[in-house]
Structure 1
Amino acid sequence: MASGTGTVPSYQTALEIGRQVESFVRNVVIPYETDTRFDHHGYPTEELVQELKQRARDAGVLSPHIRSDGTHLTQRETAIVLARTGLSPLGSVACNTSAPDEGNMYLLGKMGTPMIKERFLEPLRAGRARSAFFMTEPDNGCGSDPSLMKTTCRRDGDDWVVNGRKAFITGMVGAKIGIIMAKSADPETDGGACMFIVDLPSDAIRVEHVPNTLDSQLPGGHAMVSIENLRVPADQMLGEPGEAFRYAQVRLSPARLSHCMRWLGACRRANEIAVDYANRRVAFGKTIIDHEGVGFMLADNLIDLKQCELMIDWCADVLDTGSLGMMESSMTKVAVSEMLMKVADRCVQVMGGMGVSGDTVVEQIFREIRCFRIYDGPTEVHKWSLAKRIKRQWREAQA
C-alpha cells in the first residue's frame, strides 16, 4: 500500500490500492450512509468522522494517496484511488482524501518548512486533525477575483497581525488547522498576499454563521468567519511575504482535479443504482431500460462517464510532467463538472420519485454535483479565463 511501503508505486500498485479502497468503501463505508449521526445541517458529526477514519486506519486505507515518506502518488495514480473513495459521499471523509484536507496536505507537502510539516502536516496525514482554507470573502471581497482580497496582514515585530472576514470556509467548525490568505499592508510586499498556517480554534477567529447549503458531504460546514487581531508567528508563514497568490497556484490545479476524481466515483455509483432500478422497474409491459427514453439516457451516462475519465487522465498526465497545468485543470474542471451534472440529473430522471427521495444516495449525489459546478471556480469563470488565453495566443500568433 502507498501508506506503508515508502517506495514509488507502479501503476499496477496504484490499481491494487484502488481495489482495496473500493472494497473498503463498498463493504464498510456505504452502510454508514444510513447512520443517524448527522447534524441539523446534514453534515456528518465529528464522532462519526472519527469512527470512519478509525475503520479506514484499521483497514490500512487511511490517506492511501500518500506514501509513508510523506510524498504523494502521481496524479494519474491518485485518480485511480480518489475515484474509489468517491463511491460514497462518506468515502473520502473516511479515507482522509476529502476537501479541503487533501488539497491542504498537498500544499503543505510542497511549501511547508520541516517545522510546519511536523507540527501541522503530520496530524492531517494521520487523520488526527481536520483543516480549513481561508480565502473566499463576503462583501465584494476575494472570490473568483483574488485581487479583491480585503483581509489584511501587517508585520508587528516577530509576528504578523491578521484582520478581516472570510466566507464559505469549508470544514471550519471542528477544524484544528487553518491556512489563511491575507493581503499584506507592508510596503515592501507591493500589495501582495501572504499565507499563514495557524492552530484552531482561536479566540481571534470567530464563526459568525454556518448557512444551510445544498451539499451535506463534508463535516464542519461552510462557515462565515471574522478574524480580529490574529497574531501569527513569522515562522508560520508559508513561503515568502507577498507571494501567496503564486503559492496558491500550487494547490489549485491538483485540487480541482481531485474534485473531478472524487465526483467521478460518486456518479459511477449513482449510475449503478439507476441501472439496477431500470432493470427491475416494469412499466407498460417491460422493464423501463427497454424503453428507448430510459435506455438512451443510461447509454449517454456511459459515454459521459468515460469522457470524464479520459479528461481526468489527460490532465493528470500534464500535471505529472511538473507543469502547473492551470489551463488544463480549468478545461477539465469545466468539462467534468458539466458532464457529471448531466449524469446525475439523468440518474434522478430514470428513477423518478425514487430519484428525488432520500431512500437512495442518488439524491445527495445530485445535490453535491450541483455545488461542484461552483466551487474551485464556477464554469463561467474558467471559460472567461480560457477565452482570455485564446485571445492572447491569437495576438501572439499575429505579432
Structure 2
Amino acid sequence: MSRTDLVARVRDFVEAHCLPLESPAHVHDPAALDAALATLRPIARAQGLYLPQMPVEQGGLGLGWADRAGVFEEAGRSYLGPGALNCAAPDQPNMISLLRQGNGEQQRRYLKPLADGDIRSCFAMTEPAPGAGSDPSMLRTRARRVAHGWVIDGHKWFITGAVDARFCIVLAQTDEGPTQFIVEMDAPGLQLVRAIRAIDPFAIGGHGELRFDACRVSDDAVLGEVGQGLAYAQQRLEPARLAHCMRLTGRARRAVEIAQAYVCERASFGQRLADLQQIQAMVADCHIDLHASRLMTQDCARRMDAGEPVKTESAMTKVFVSEALNRVADRAAQMCGAFGMSEDEPLALILRELRPFRIYDGASELHRATLGRRFLNTASRT
C-alpha cells in the first residue's frame, strides 16, 4: 500500500467512524473516552490502520517518521483518531521507550497489552515546585535500594493518562542518577490523589496527581540501566514532540475547515464574510502557518529516519509548530464570532486542545533559551 493510499484510508476512517462518534460527553470523562476508543479500535485494526508507528513484528504498520506524518495528521482531525489507531500520547511514546529500553519480560508484560489496546499507561516526571518541571534536573522523587528491590517516595502531578492506567513509567532520583521505573498503578504505596481538570478537554486518561509513599518495587521494575533515566527521557521527548506536531496539525486543519465553511455561508452587512479582505487574509495566514508547520515537521522526520541527531531541529519545530497551530485555531474561532466561542461546534474545544502545546513537552521559553545558548556557543567557536 502506498503512503498516499494509506493517508486516504485514514481520512476515510476518520470521516466515517470518528467524527460521527465525537460527543460533548467525552469532555473531561476518561471512562467515556475509553469506551468510544474501544468501539473504534477493532474497526481500525480490521481496516489495516492500527499501530502505524510500531514495527510489523509487533503488530504494527512499520512506518518511518516521514511516512507517519500524513497518517498522524489525518488521524488528528478528530480527537478520537489517534487513540483509535493507538498512536496517541502517552501510550505511543511509552511504546517507544519499552521497545528501546525494555527487556523481554517487560515487553511481554507491558508492551504487548499496551500495543493491543488492552491497557493504558502514563509517564510520571513532572512534580510540584520545587520539583522537576521544565528542568528535569530538579527531580525530587527518590528511589532507594532495599533488599531485592527499590522503595520510591515522591509527588508527581499533571501526569497525562494516569486515570485508569495500568502502569506508569516513573522518573526518580537514585544514588547512581535519575532512573526510570515501571510501576503498576495498584502497587502498594502509589496513590492517584485526583484527576486534575486542565484546559484541554480530551486527554486520554486525563491528568493525574500521584503520590509515592514508600512504594516498593522489585529489581525488575527498572527500565533500562540505572542512572540513565534523563538520557532515556530525552530520547522519548524528541519523537514525542514531533508526533504531537503531526497529530495537532490535523486538529488545526479541522478548525480551518469549519471556519471556511462558516464564512462562506454567513452573510453580514449585505455580503458573505468570505468576501471580506480581512477574512481572506486570516484564511491565507492559517494555510501559511499549516504549510510551514508541515515542512518543518517533515524535515525533522526525515532527519530522524536517517538516524541524524535532531536535538536542535526538534526543539525549533516544537516551538514554531505549537505557536503556529495556536494562531490557526485562534483565527478560526475569531472568524466564527460567538459561534466559534461555543461548544456547538468543535472550534472552542480545538482551541483549548492546542493552547497547552506551547507548554507541554517543554515550554517555548525554555526551548528558545536553550536554542539561543546553543547557537551562541556554536558561533563563538567558529
TM-score (structure 2 length as normaliser): 0.95
Partners in 1 of 2:31 and 2:296 — Cα distance?
A: 30
What aligned pairs does 1:152-191 form with structure 2 within 5 A after superposition?
Answer: 152-184=142-174, 186=175, 189=176
**Counterpart-to-counterpart distance in 1, 2:339 and 2:32:** 23
Residue 15 of structure 1: CA displacement?
2.8
SS in 2 for 1:375: coil
Q: For the Cα contact (< 8 Å) 1:170–1:220, is it kept in 2? A: yes
Please say if residues 44 and 217 of structure 1, whose CA atoms lie closer than 8 Å, have aligned partners that are also in contact. no
CA contact (8 A) 1:211 1:223 kept: yes
- Report what 1:132 is aligned to: 122
Q: What aligned pairs does 1:39-188 form with structure 2 within 5 A after superposition?
A: 44-70=32-58, 72-184=62-174, 186=175
1:328 is matched with 313
Q: Measure the CA separation in 1 of the matches of 2:64 and 2:325.
A: 24
Instruction: Name the CA shift for 1:43/1:164 in 2 (closer, same or farther; >3 Å).
Output: same
Deviation, structure 1 residue 65 = 2.6
Whether the 8 Å CA contact 2:28–2:202 is kept in 1: the answer is no
Supply the distance in 2 between the matched residues of 1:352 and 1:42 (Cα, whole angstroms): 30
Hey, what does 1:274 align to over in structure 2?
A: 259
Which residue identity lines up with residue 341 of structure 1 in the other structure? N
Q: Distance in 2 between matches of 1:340 and 1:39?
A: 21
Question: Take 2:310 and 2:3, find their aligned partners in 1: how far apart are those partners?
Answer: 22
Which of these residues, 368, 372, 375, is aligned with residue 387 of structure 1? 372
Are the counterparts in 2 of residues 131 and 176 from structure 1 also a CA contact under 8 Å? yes
Cα deviation, 1:77-126, whole Å, max 9, x if unaligned, reads 11121111101111112221111111111111111111111111111111
2-side partners of 1:39 and 1:85: how far apart?
19
Between 137-146 and 66-75, the greater mean CA deviation after superposition:
66-75
Corresponding residue of 1:231 = 216
Deviation at 1:39, TM superposition (A): 6.2
Measured against aligned partners, the alpha-carbon deviations of 1:310-350 in whole angstroms (never above 9, x if no partner) come to 01001111111213411111000000011111100000011
1:235/1:250 Cα in 2 relative to 1: closer, same or farther (>3 Å)?
same
Secondary structure of 1:179's match?
strand
| Cα contact 1:42–1:216 (8 A) shared by 2 | no
* Preserved CA contact (<8 Å) 1:249 1:324: no
Q: Give the Å deviation of 1:204.
A: 1.9
Which one-letter code corresponds to 1:68 in the other structure? V
Q: Which residue identity is paired with 1:29?
A: C
1:31 aligns with 2:16: no
User: Aligned-pair distance for 1:40?
Assistant: 5.4
% same residue: 39
Q: Kindly provide the amino acid, as one letter, of the partner of residue 312 in structure 1.
A: T
Deviation at 1:43, TM superposition (A): 7.5
* Equivalent position amino acid for 1:374 in 2: I
Gaps of 5+ in 1: 2-12
Residues 281-306 of structure 1: CA deviation (Å, up to 9, x unaligned): 11122211110111110011111110
**Structure 1 residue 177: deviation in Å?**
2.1
Contact in 2 for aligned 1:137/1:167 (Cα 8 Å): yes
1:191-202 equivalent positions in 2, closer than 5 A = 192-202=177-187
Is residue 305 of structure 2 the alignment partner of residue 316 of structure 1? no
Contact 1:111 1:239 in 2 (8 A): yes
Change (3 A) 1:156 1:217: same
State the superposition RMSD in angstroms.
1.7
Quote the Cα distance in structure 2 between the aligned partners of 1:335 and 1:278: 27
Alignment partner of 1:396 is 2:381: yes
Deviates more, 1:327-336 or 1:66-75: 66-75
Residue 230 of structure 1 deviates from its aligned partner by 1.8
Q: Does 1:245 align with 2:235?
A: no
Report 1:254-273 matches (<5 A): 254-273=239-258
Instruction: Give the whole-Å Cα distance in 1 for the aligned partners of 2:318 and 2:72.
Output: 15
